[in-house]
Amino acid sequence: MEYIKDLESGSSPKLRKAAEAIYRNKLQGYCSYLIHALTKEIRKKKAWRTQCQLIKTIAGIDCTEALPILNQLLDEKYESTILYKEIGLAIFILQSTEQEGLEFLFTSIRKGNVHQICGACAGVLKKKVVPAREDIRRITSGIQLYTEHEGAIITPRCYIAAVAYLWPLEETRDFLESCKKSTWKGLVEIADSSLQGKKSKIQLV
Give yes or no for residue 21 having a pLDDT over 90.
yes
Within 8 A by CB and 6+ apart from 36, the residues are: 7, 8
Residue 143 domain flag: no
Q: What Rg do the C-alpha atoms of the chain give, in angstroms?
A: 18
Q: Is residue 37 part of a domain?
A: yes
Asked whether residue 33 is assigned to any structural domain, the reply reads yes
Residue 21 belongs to some domain of the structure: yes
Give 38-84 pLDDT, tens digit per residue. Answer: 999 999 989 999 999 999 999 999 999 999 999 999 999 999 999 99
**Residue 32 included in any domain:** yes
88 within a domain of the structure (yes/no): no
**Structure pTM?**
0.94
Handedness of CA 141, 142, 147, 148 (dihedral sign): positive
Do 164 and 175 contact (CB within 8 A), yes or no? Answer: yes
Is a pLDDT exceeding 90 seen at residue 93? yes
Give residue 96's pLDDT.
Answer: 79
Chain centroid to CA 150: 17
Which residue blocks in 95-155 are alpha helix, DSSP H? 98-111, 114-126, 133-143
Q: What is the pLDDT of residue 115?
A: 96
Classify residue 144 by burial, with Cβ atoms within 10 Å: 0-12, 13-18, 19+. Answer: middle
Position 10 in a domain: yes
Using DSSP's 3-state secondary structure scheme, residue 153 falls into strand
Q: Which of 15, 60, 55 is nearest to 35 (CA)?
A: 55
Task: Please give the pLDDT value at position 99.
Answer: 82
pLDDT, one tens digit per residue, over 104-123 is 999 999 999 999 999 999 99
The number of folded domains in the chain is 1
**Domain-located, residue 109:** no
Q: At what angle do helices 31-41 and 48-60 cross, to 10 degrees?
A: 160
Domain carrying residue 62: 1-66
- Cβ–Cβ contacts within 10 Å for residue 47, how many? 18
- Rounded to a whole number of angstroms, the distance between the first and last alpha carbons of the chain is 29
CA 120 vs. chain centroid, Å, equals 5
The full DSSP string for 42-101 is TT-TT-HHHHHHHHHHHHHTT-GGGHHHHHHHTTS--SSTHHHHHHHHHHHHHSSSHHHH
